[in-house]
Structure 1
Amino acid sequence: MFSLQTIFGKGNQFFGLLEDAAVAAADSTTALHTMLRENDRPPALDAFRLARQRERVIADKINEELINSFVTALEREDIEALSYALVRIPKQVERFAERYALAVHLLDGIDFAQRAAMLEQAANVVVEMVRQLRRMKIEEMKILNDRLRSIESEADRLMLELYRDIYAGHFDGKQMFLIKEFFEILEKAIDRCREAGVVAYQIVLKNS
């Protein structure tokens, strides 16, 4: 006969899978920051594709475990929501990287690294938030949530500065279009981190 501890312990694999998904997402943002910081070499896309592939494999594993598991450590809809939110981060990052690789010759002198650094920071906060799910400590999660919100607010402020530069006529028409598009993709990637963080925070609120 199985003990209750044995039965309920079987749901704990989801913590590890969600943590792996968050790390894969963060790794894609690190690769992007590195690519934009080292802009003296041709962009390489392998790291982004590998991160997306890892993310898809983990998401498939989560779905498989949800089907096969009688007991889960978190509510099933919460696991699905967080998994979906995490998958969207490297997807957005890869979108930027692929387009940047095609247009890099038109973007000489444009610095995206500062925004990419903020994206990397946001993704790393998400990793910490997902790891906190094992503990369900509302105070610690609130600190991380506030940190993520602060990063998002700073990114919004930088976007306003960008629009000011665009409207001031500092770029030609083609550059203006590309710069706006690329910064908006980065902003959306930060939003994806924020969305994942909100899901994690709400899970703790529900279970604390």
Structure 2
Amino acid sequence: MAFSILPRDEQYFVLFQDAAQNMTESARALEDLVRNFTDVEEKADRIRALEARGDEITFQIISRLRRAFVTPFEREDIIAIGRAMDDVVDMIEASAARLASYAVERPTEGACAFAGMIVSASLEIEKIMAQLHRRKVDEIRLPKMAVNRVEAEADGLLRRLVAGLFTGGADPLTVIKWKEIYETLETVTDAQERLANLVEGIILKNA
């Protein structure tokens, strides 16, 4: 069996888990914003702070790479995972910003459904990141498939909601606002699926 006499820096896995937990905290904060639409600016500020924390974790990952000699995965793969997780939180923050700035009276049931899906996928990604250090694709397959299912459900929800906007007799400005909000929320689940697929591919490459 081939092995390296040099220790691998396992701190990356800790940082990945930190980023995943920050993602879930951001998702839960978005769900709270949507389901309890009060103190909107304060809640949006909270999500912005979590997005900034995600940026800091990504910076720590990249900074660690500059000092590392031996890494658990290829450097570009480590960077890709960090940036993919950062992308998810960026889109969560973008969703919150639109809800806060578009002067909506209250979120719709569809927006609440999206928020719940985002939380569900985030929890599955936490499971994936908790197993990443083991480098066994079978151990992340179930949560990865769960993320795929969430994204497929979100795709279908988006189609139904947008169709309803154009057939429900809403005024054009309302249609424009909610179409963009729905599309941004759905983009979060797209980013979550890309992350889950990316991690699976990296594990397979290193199996």
- TM-score under structure 1 length normalisation: 0.91
How much has 1:167 moved relative to structure 2? Answer: 2.3
State, as a whole percentage, how many aligned pairs show the same letter.
Answer: 28
Q: Structure 1 residues 42, 83: CA separation in 2 closer, same or farther (over 3 Å shift)?
A: closer
The number of aligned residues is: 202
Question: Is residue 35–residue 107 contact of structure 2 (8 Å, CA) maintained in 1?
Answer: no
Q: Map Cα deviations across residues 124-177 of structure 1 (whole Å, 9 max, x no partner).
A: 211211221111222221212211111011111111111221221332111111
Correspondence for 1:99: 98
Question: Is residue 59–residue 87 contact of structure 1 (8 Å, CA) maintained in 2?
Answer: yes
Correspondence for 2:28: 30
Q: Does 1:134 find its partner at 2:133?
A: yes
Correspondence for 2:65: 66
**Residue identity opposite 1:163 in structure 2:** V
Provide the alpha-carbon RMSD of the alignment: 1.6
Correspondence for 1:196: 195
For structure 1, which segment, 34-43 or 183-192, has the greater mean C-alpha deviation from structure 2 after superposition? 34-43
Q: Structure 1 residues 176, 92: CA separation in 2 closer, same or farther (over 3 Å shift)?
A: same
Correspondence for 2:37: 39
Correspondence for 1:207: 206
- TM-score under structure 2 length normalisation: 0.91
Correspondence for 1:17: 15
How much has 1:40 moved relative to structure 2? Answer: 4.3
In structure 2, C-alpha distance between the alignment counterparts of 1:180 and 1:42, rounded to whole Å: 20
**Residue identity opposite 2:91 in structure 1:** Q
How much has 1:41 moved relative to structure 2? Answer: 4.3
Unaligned runs of 5+ residues in structure 2 are none
How much has 1:70 moved relative to structure 2? Answer: 0.4
For structure 1, which segment, 175-184 or 49-58, has the greater mean C-alpha deviation from structure 2 after superposition? 49-58
How much has 1:53 moved relative to structure 2? Answer: 1.6
Q: Which runs of 4+ in 1 moved over 6 A?
A: none
**Residue identity opposite 2:28 in structure 1:** T
Question: Is residue 35–residue 43 contact of structure 1 (8 Å, CA) maintained in 2?
Answer: no
